[in-house]
Chains A and B, each alone.
Chain A
Amino acid sequence: MMKKWLSLISLIFSLMLVLAACSGGGEESSTNEKSDSRENPAKDRGNEIIIGVSGEPQNWDPIDTFLLDWSTIATSVFEGLVDRNLNLEIQPGLAESWEYLDDQTLQFKLRQGVQFHNGEPFNADAVKFTFDRLLGEEGQKGPQYSNYTSIDSVEVVDEYTATFHLNSPDPVLLTKLAGYGAVIVPPKYVQEHDDEFFNNNPVGTGPFKMTGYKRDQEIVLEKNPDYWKEGLPKLDKVTFKVIPEASTRLAELQTGNIDVMKRVEVAQAETVKNTSYLELIDVGTPTVYSLRFDPGQKLMDNKLVRQAINYAVDKQSIIDEILSGYGKQISTYQSELSFGNNPDLEPYPYDPEKAKELLAEAGVAEGTVLDVYIPGNDGNFKEITQAVAFYLEEVGLKMNINSVDNTTLISELIPNGKAGHMYRQGWGGWTLDFDNTAYLMYHEGEQWNPSFKDEKVEELLAAQRATVDQEERKKIFMELTELLYDLAPELNLYQAVDLYAANSRLENFQPPHDDRMRLEEVSVK
């Protein structure tokens, strides 16, 4: 008797549990309504803000890392000769102006009266030291070195003039100098301390100096009172807290323990919107996601098949339904933020009939199976891939989806042409110039180009590298994008949109397109 009761009640309990688990969404929205009426829990914090981030680089030396997590924080500490504003336009940084003396000689006039956080003066010697270090033994151990190999040497002309001598014309050098690896470091400080010390105690010229660092927990930045931009920064202190789990970050934001949340998930957008003292801000990123074809595989070597797949998939519906509209269609493998994007090209329209025609023309049998490889840790993309499979099924193609470890996919499967007919690849193109993306994706023999090969593409790629005339390069890119559009080396899905949430007490907070938070103009009410 007892046993029967026991199993009955256990059953009821388990049902309750399942129900509770399933109704998670509902519970959340009811807490929202409550918190909605609550007053702003962070209102008394004073002239400082706390930002919740998902990770930190664990190493602050600019030449040792190449991580977005580094750039989010270190952009406030270090500065380069040139800089990008929030709209990603190149502007003077530590250099006031620059001039090409010829194709291979670039001269910078430096800003005067700038100091590093430790009091060392910024001058041409610091510039030379920075690049000697980056291009020397120390730099060659790290991932930044290879980006700057077109620089042959840096010459100190006078205290505030530095000349870069190049070993070949490099049309993207200026944008690279706005990159992570080219930020200027203090010569004396770096030489006086060992490597490990600088990794943990970075010193630059930026608007904030790092005064506290607990690995994997928090990073404390304080106002640089001697900052060269008049009246900036406005905040006294910025603390970054490392909170890897998105639901925990949101809880910290709701309770007012942090003021800004980086990486809000699409599923969390509603909760943020429904809370009175929070604001949701979305921003387009340079990162694009595609299912790239491996033309080394049978079927994928046929342009008609690749085009057919592009016609078969309704990208806008995928963006609307799975990404809640937080994404933008793309016509080639780059975002609208990239120099070289062709605004005249419309993404392939959704046209299943056309897709069927092309497949028939290519002689592809109904029910042909395509292998697809995607990273197993990205739930959103898994859903997207399933939607793609649905659309392809409509035109008679079957997809066999393989979820694999992301690192294995990037470092083993794709480079060796073992990632099936199609595989997911996301790409940012850190120079924000199509040169980087196009060269690494379509130039024969590159790490992530297992088999794409086209003579005309190679010719155009070489041509845009041979000149520093940006207008001419743009023309070449327009031709290249049209060609790539027709060749369809990938099923282009969308440009990623990043979501940030911020407490309403912040003023002038604008999230970056490129993860590099710029905080000097931010203030609090």
Chain B
Amino acid sequence: MIAYVIRRLLHTVLVVLGISLIVFFSIRLTGDPVSVMFAAGEPTKEAIAEVRSNLGLDEPLYVQYGIFLKGIFTFDFGKSFRSGMPVMELINERIGATLALALGGMAVAILIAFPVGILSAVKRDTAVDFFGRIFSLLGISFPNFWLGIMLILVFSVTLQWLPVSGFEGFKHLILPSITLGLILSGILARLVRSSMLEVMNQQYVSTAKSKGISEWKVIIKHAFRNALLPTVTFIGLQFGSLLGGTVIVEQIFSWPGVGRLIIDAINQRDYPVIQGGVIYLAIIMVLVNLIVDLSYTLIDPRVKVGGSKS
């Protein structure tokens, strides 16, 4: 187990190195941060050259990359070109908001998808299943941009039940979480349904049923628990992408999260922030995947990590 974790952590280092290369060079292919800094200024060529050299952008690329690499291992990504603040501080300020939103979205998705998926599977080919499947389809088809604005119009502007935007308290979390979670719940409900169906055809479920155990006990204890494995994998992977992929939701709801930080940084070509932000999210993503893999042992004791295959 420990050997496995260590091996996986070493993989992480390789993944981060790979990502650092991609991020570093891809952002340098397009656009120049200094011209953006002068957005309203309309500078001369000399002024641009001057500022560029002050930011260290006139150093050879391998030197700049070396500085960045060193930063990764010391968790010091330098200072933002734009705000002059240390990148780590900018990220730490926001990671809470992003985590809250990702967890909120995940909670909404699970709360909706599990009941819908299980019911659909159990009542297969009945009206319940049918509406469950329509629901999944709807969830998948909503563009979250549209959904977010519609939710604001209905619940904030017309009914005035919930705040429009911002990050101040639990009430502020509701609409963004629904926007983020509803789409995911559509996909997740489908997955729960199909894994449940697969499991329910297994012999042990029939055996359990034939022993006279009550139907719901069979469903929850025997079927659902076994159907959970692929679902957990999916949730784990989705959680990573929720962290980085909340950008649109953050934008609509003026949510001060990491996604918006990175998007703003990309528009401003604020290299240190882009580099730091992407690496930070990449590390979180790899760690989440590791935790997901480890959690298999809890859900299904037959799975042993560190064995030939997991």
Q: What is A's interface to B at a CB cutoff of 8 Å?
A: 2, 5-6, 9-10, 13-14, 17, 21, 24, 27-28, 31, 34-35, 55, 57-59, 61, 64-68, 71, 140-147, 195-196, 199-200, 214-217, 241-245, 247-248, 251-252, 254-255, 257, 405-408, 410-412, 415, 427-430, 436-437, 440, 445-448
Contact = CB atoms under 8 A, between A and B. Distances in A.
Given A27-B153, A411-B32, A412-B30, A243 B42 contact: no
B156 to A, nearest CB: 6
Interface in B242-295: 251-254, 256, 260-261, 264, 267-269
Interface stretch (B11-19, B131-139, B196-204, B230-238): B131-139
A13 B130 CA distance: 13
A200 B251 CA distance: 23
A31 B157 CA distance: 8
Nearest to A20: B150
Given A31-B158, A66-B38, 12 more contacts: A2-B130, A6-B134, A21-B146, A68-B40, A214-B256, A243-B254, A248-B164, A248-B253, A407-B269, A410-B31, A430-B40, A446-B45
Contact of A59 (B82, B137, B149, B251): B82
Nearest to A59: B83
Given A13-B134, A31-B153, A446-B44, A64 B50 contact: no
A34 B158 contact: yes
B48 A447 contact: yes
Sorted from nearest, which 5 A-B pairs have the closest CB atoms?
A146-B47, A58-B83, A407-B31, A66-B41, A411-B35
Interface residues of B, number: 62
Contact of B256 (A57, A216, A440): A216
Nearest to B263: A244
Contact of B251 (A34, A67, A245, A448): A245
Which applies to chain B's interface (DSSP): helix, strand, loop or mixed?
Answer: helix
B310 interface: no
B152 interface: yes
Contact of B84 (A13, A31, A195): A195
Contacts of A140: 50, 54
A255 B47 contact: no
B36 interface: yes
Contacts of A144: 41
A248 B165 contact: yes
Contacts of A145: 47, 50
Contacts of A440: 42-44
A215 B153 contact: no
B93 A215 contact: yes
Given A248-B152, A251-B156, A199 B83 contact: yes
A14 B141 contact: yes
Interface string B105-116: 000000000000
Contacts of A408: 30-31
Most chain B beta-carbon contacts within 10 A, residue among A14, A21, A243: A243
Nearest to B153: A31
B37 interface: yes
B35 A410 contact: yes
B160 interface: yes
Contacts of B164: 248, 251-252, 255, 257
A67 B133 contact: no
A20 to B, nearest CB: 8
Contacts of B43: 143, 146-147, 440, 447
Contact of A216 (B138, B260, B268): B260
B21 interface: no
A411 B31 contact: yes
Contacts, number: 180
Contacts of A14: 137, 141
Interface string B140-167: 0110001001001100111010011111
A199 B85 contact: yes
Interface string B21-38: 000000000111011111
Given A248-B164, A407-B36, A412 B31 contact: yes
Contacts of A21: 146
B215 interface: no
A248 B254 contact: yes
22 contacts: A17-B141, A58-B80, A58-B85, A67-B39, A71-B40, A145-B47, A146-B47, A199-B84, A214-B256, A244-B254, A245-B165, A248-B165, A248-B254, A251-B164, A255-B164, A257-B164, A411-B36, A411-B269, A440-B42, A445-B45, A446-B44, A446-B45
Given A67-B39, A252-B165, A196 B130 contact: no
Contacts of A71: 40
Contacts of B48: 447
Nearest to A16: B138
Nearest to B269: A407
B272 to A, nearest CB: 13
Interface in B89-140: 90, 93-94, 125, 130, 133-134, 137-138
B254 A242 contact: yes
Most chain B beta-carbon contacts within 10 A, residue among A13, A57, A244, A437: A244
